[in-house]
Each structure stands twice: as C-alpha cells, then as structure tokens.
Amino acid sequence: MATTVNIKNIPEGYQSIITNGRHSIVGDEPVNSKGTDLGLSPSELVLSGLAMCKVGTVRYIARKNNWEIGNVEATLEQEVKRDSSGTRTVVKVNLKIEGDITEEQRAELLKQADNCYIHRLLNGEWDIQPIQTVLEK
C-alpha cells in the first residue's frame, strides 16, 4: 500500500501546507533557518510519526489484552552527530504509561512500542528515488 503526501509552499518563510488529501498540517523551518517557526520542522515531523506509532502501538496492545491503561505520553529527542564517517542520528525515547498494570505487562508494552511499524520502517533499508521535476509556466 502506497502512502502519498503532497506539499505546497506558502510565500512566508518556508511554510508549507502538508496534506494527504484528507487532513492538512503546516510545516515550517525555525527562525534560525530563515523560517517563520509557524509549523513543525521536517525533523519534528519525522519524530512525530515515530512517537505517534509508539503511543498507538501501546494503546492497541493494551486494548487487545484488556489491560487497563490511562494516558500514554511519548517524548522523543533527536541528536544528530556528524563526523568523517557520515551522519548518525540518535533518538532518545521516553514513554509514560498510566494505569494499573504489572511490570510484565509494562515490559511487553515497551517491547511492542520498540517494534512499531514506523520504528521498523526507519530502521529498514530506504531507496529514495531521484526527484522528478515538473516545470510549469
């Protein structure tokens, strides 16, 4: 199944309207990158997808097993390291699960969150095709 996202820029800073055809959000760059900081940055959008997947996976597994949980919150922090061998990105994940669950249940939820679809996708092999440009007059 293919996923499609369309982006159209707005003249201010680097603002863009990002849509999948049903829902829209605003993306932008921070002020120190000459953006207007009125939307999520590209890195924040990637982290958001990963965080959403982890939280959704925890909620799914808990519901599937009839485990009583409350709020699930994720905080992700990205650190990019560059050296002569290339770029390495480290993402630290903190997950807070409210509810009356055992340590075994909590461990299972965390294990499943670390195996969520977007986590596996990001760890997998990517083949990003060259840009195909359509020029309009």
Classify strands 16-19 and 24-27 as parallel, antiparallel or unpaired.
antiparallel
- CATH node for 50-123: 3.30.300.20
| Amino acid making up residue 4 | T
Q: Is 81 helix (H, G, I), strand (E, B) or coil?
A: strand
For residue 57, the model assigns a pLDDT of: 98
Ordered by start, the domain boundaries in the chain are 1-40, 50-123
Q: Each residue of 50-95: pLDDT tens digit?
A: 999 999 999 999 999 999 999 999 999 999 999 999 999 999 999 9
Residue 3 CA to its chain's centroid (Å): 15
With 80 as the cut, is the pLDDT of residue 136 above it?
Answer: no
With 80 as the cut, is the pLDDT of residue 137 above it?
Answer: no
How many whole angstroms separate alpha carbon 83 and alpha carbon 124? 22
Exposed (0-12), middle (13-18) or buried (19+): which is 2, by Cβ within 10 Å?
exposed
Exposed (0-12), middle (13-18) or buried (19+): which is 11, by Cβ within 10 Å?
exposed
pTM of the model: 0.89
